[in-house]
Structure 1
């Protein structure tokens, strides 16, 4: 077996869609990884759906772990630390409403082989959720603009940072186990409180410059917030929660 790669997925009430995510991972060209889904207190049949999928795909190494403390940061951190305790050397994360490209895990390995210790992948919008083409193009352009603007935001500037800011979507990132521990991991927070991916990146920036963006590492992200809130409010949400809806967990 090559370096032990674990894929971590935090999940909350994802019964309706997680099978698509699991199916995308089952179709990976590089299947040498262990999949860990962290159920974050779901009240639907998320866990049963995962167990059923695992029974139908015995060739995959699939585990389910429970984290009752609400929050993507808490769930992702629990999964990462459990994987490390089980021998993981390389960690990748996606989300339960995303579709990794068929070569995603292969590209993760290529990124690590290049010497990087933190990888930021290419996030593209899903095209199967009824969002119009024009809106999808706006979303892609907005992600690129946010990535560029993030380098100059005051919150990402500090003399202790060794390298430039790099926007790293939590649903498409990978990190070595050693660096994850050294950086302190994801903050154990709710998505409403802190963007845990941004916090982890900035912690890494105080340690090393061995991080980089890998456009060939593609994940297609859900547009359900765009459908529910519209583009402007969705962008405001991701920009430090300038839009705060009553219901965050859109399903």
Structure 2
């Protein structure tokens, strides 16, 4: 298994260092990391290069994708990995902290026969002092969105071989073969299409070898929840029924 991890990154100089350090602390160091600089205007690329110079493991590559959008950046990174020999790809985001056993859990999932897999998304506690509702409500928001996804009309595909399963792009892994057969992430902006949902629905037409694993945990930022509020965040994940004026929320913008 030749596993690569892809991280799309846009103006993440404040957050990506912690993500890189957590990946360097994985119990299983057998992977290659590629960061896709998605037209950043800050020091994101410099932070990644400095980290790579100081940490021989994992191998870190940085590439560029000028077309703005998490879908475009993630697709570029995954296709770069596949062209370099990756047989399996995992993705997280530049504001996330994978659990130290995340890589090991990803590999176990593939060994068990899954071709696409995701796991729990929990709130980070290191960015700033979390309010009680932020600690409690992020899992609830995700569970509500997942339940909504099961029943929403857009996911009721008569050609699907299995049920819809919510798989956030920040905690996601797939085989190279399935990614290519499914057509990959749509090369879209986050405010246009939730690229993770689109790919899940493409995969559902091809196989039932996908699912969730409880031991594959990633800790995600609550910055969107704090900026949008509970109702706004739920509306954002429900097909952008709420779209804020400022999409790209960064830690420095919040109190």
Match of 2:120 in 1: 122
Please report how far the alpha carbon of residue 102 of structure 1 lies from its aligned counterpart in structure 2 after TM superposition: 0.1
Match of 2:19 in 1: 21
C-alpha deviations, 1:160-200, integer Å up to 9, x for none? 00000000000000000000000000000000100000000
Q: How high is the TM-score relative to the length of structure 1?
A: 0.97
Match of 2:232 in 1: 233
In structure 2, which of residues 38, 54, 57 is the aligned counterpart of residue 56 of structure 1?
54
What are the within-5 Å matches in structure 2 for residues 88-237 of structure 1? Answer: 88-128=86-126, 129-237=128-236
Please report how far the alpha carbon of residue 150 of structure 1 lies from its aligned counterpart in structure 2 after TM superposition: 1.2
- Secondary structure of 1:160's aligned partner: coil
> Unaligned 5+ residue runs, structure 1?
none
| Structure 1 Cα separation of the partners of residues 111 and 201 of structure 2 | 23
The question of whether the paired residues in 1 share the 8 Å contact of 2:22 and 2:99 is answered with yes
> Unaligned 5+ residue runs, structure 2?
251-255
Match of 1:250 in 2: 249
Of the structure 1 ranges 132-141 and 232-241, higher mean CA displacement relative to structure 2 is found in 132-141
Please report how far the alpha carbon of residue 17 of structure 1 lies from its aligned counterpart in structure 2 after TM superposition: 1.1
| Structure 2 Cα separation of the partners of residues 27 and 217 of structure 1 | 15
The question of whether the paired residues in 2 share the 8 Å contact of 1:131 and 1:227 is answered with no
The question of whether the paired residues in 2 share the 8 Å contact of 1:125 and 1:222 is answered with yes
TM-align CA RMSD: 0.9
The question of whether the paired residues in 1 share the 8 Å contact of 2:145 and 2:237 is answered with no
Q: How high is the TM-score relative to the length of structure 2?
A: 0.96
Please report how far the alpha carbon of residue 145 of structure 1 lies from its aligned counterpart in structure 2 after TM superposition: 2.2
Please report how far the alpha carbon of residue 131 of structure 1 lies from its aligned counterpart in structure 2 after TM superposition: 2.3
The question of whether the paired residues in 2 share the 8 Å contact of 1:118 and 1:211 is answered with yes
| Structure 1 Cα separation of the partners of residues 191 and 153 of structure 2 | 21
